[in-house]
Amino acid sequence: MAVTFADLIGQNKRNTFLLSVLFSFFVIGLAGFMGYVLAIFHLPDQVVMVTVGAMAVALILTIILLLVSYFGGMGTLLAISQARPIAKEDDPQLYNVVEEMTIAADLPMPRIYLIDDTAPNAFATGRKPENAVVAITTGLREKLNRSELQAVMAHELSHIRNYDILFAMMMAVMLGVVVLLCDYFLRIAWRGGSGRSQRSSRGRSAGGGALILLVVAIILSIIAPLIAKIIQLAVSRQREYLADASAVDLTRDPDALASALTKIASDKEVLEVANRATQHLYIVNPIKPFEARAQSLFSTHPPISERIERILALKQA
């Protein structure tokens, strides 16, 4: 039985929910384990309370950051990117292209923002399709022809239709919580060794078992952010493949998307407003050294050559 794009989008939504739940459990469990280890050495009479308290703090912190990101993340991203809204009369052709693709994708018309930068690139953001935004650079507008521009807009609208924009925001928050927890634990572990509670009789009686747990916790606090980042980026790369395929489904023109990606990736201009916090949003990684090393586990996008190969293969599908 053939798999439809509706199936892929539905699977994407389910995976987003599942990954979010699993990541939440990971964050809370990590906080509980670190709280438990610290309590053994510093508050041995309150191990349970400290462990539960650490888990509660992680949960509350995650919820707060998710809410802040959910309601304020889009405005922050647009401000960082120095994007400004434009009206239909400012660029009728661009509006017509976006309108065509929103009709094809069965989406509400997103707001369009322009970034005054000669480097060609684009991204989409927003909580849901009803309040989504597509932002493009002046370089993209000037350097692509109409069919290539249409393909790029189809790609970005596919991210909106596939609910990738919400997932990317949530995963960024989860990763931030992991980093905060690990940094806090390491500071206490390294600086708290001479604390009064560590000299308690129970702390001394913990012996080798407690020391082993401390070593494990320190190692975990070092590698946990790396593991979380690798998972986040691996999923992001798969979603780029899906957005490419969805864009071809909307435009029926794989050559246009392949040509647009080639032009964007080969352009020598540097997107000044992009940084490591926003690089994953763009259709092509705007930080050139990272794009050149796209085979890395820490790359936000798949290699352009692989993306183009998959896109052109859709011509035979």
Q: Is 246 found in the same domain as 151?
A: yes
Q: Is 98 found in the same domain as 155?
A: yes
**Which amino acids are annotated catalytic?**
156
Domain count, the chain: 2
Q: Is 256 found in the same domain as 287?
A: yes
- Structure token pair of residue 66: 């998710």
Q: Is 112 found in the same domain as 74?
A: no
Q: Is 193 found in the same domain as 155?
A: no
Beta bridge partners of 123: 135, 282
Q: Is 61 found in the same domain as 175?
A: yes
What are 38-71's pLDDT values in tens digits? 888 778 888 899 899 989 988 888 788 778 777 7
pLDDT over threshold 60, residue 195: no
Residue 205 lies in a domain: yes
- Decide which of 286 and 113 is more confident: 113
Q: Is 149 found in the same domain as 18?
A: no
CA distances from residue 152 to 124, 142, 295 in whole angstroms, order as listed: 11, 13, 23
Residue 58 lies in a domain: yes
111, containing H or E segment: strand 111-115
Q: Is 245 found in the same domain as 156?
A: yes
- Residue 29's nearest CA partner among 190, 177, 172, 149 is 177
Q: CA-to-CA distance for 125 and 213, rounded, in angstroms?
A: 42
Confidence of residue 208 (pLDDT cuts 50, 70, 90): low
Q: Is 297 found in the same domain as 181?
A: no
Q: Is 273 found in the same domain as 245?
A: yes
What are 19-31's pLDDT values in tens digits? 777 777 888 888 8
pLDDT at 86: 95
List the domain range (segments joined by +) for residue 153: 88-164+236-316
8 Å CB contact between 113 and 58: no
Q: CA-to-CA distance for 201 and 209, rounded, in angstroms?
A: 15
Q: CA-to-CA distance for 256 and 114, rounded, in angstroms?
A: 22
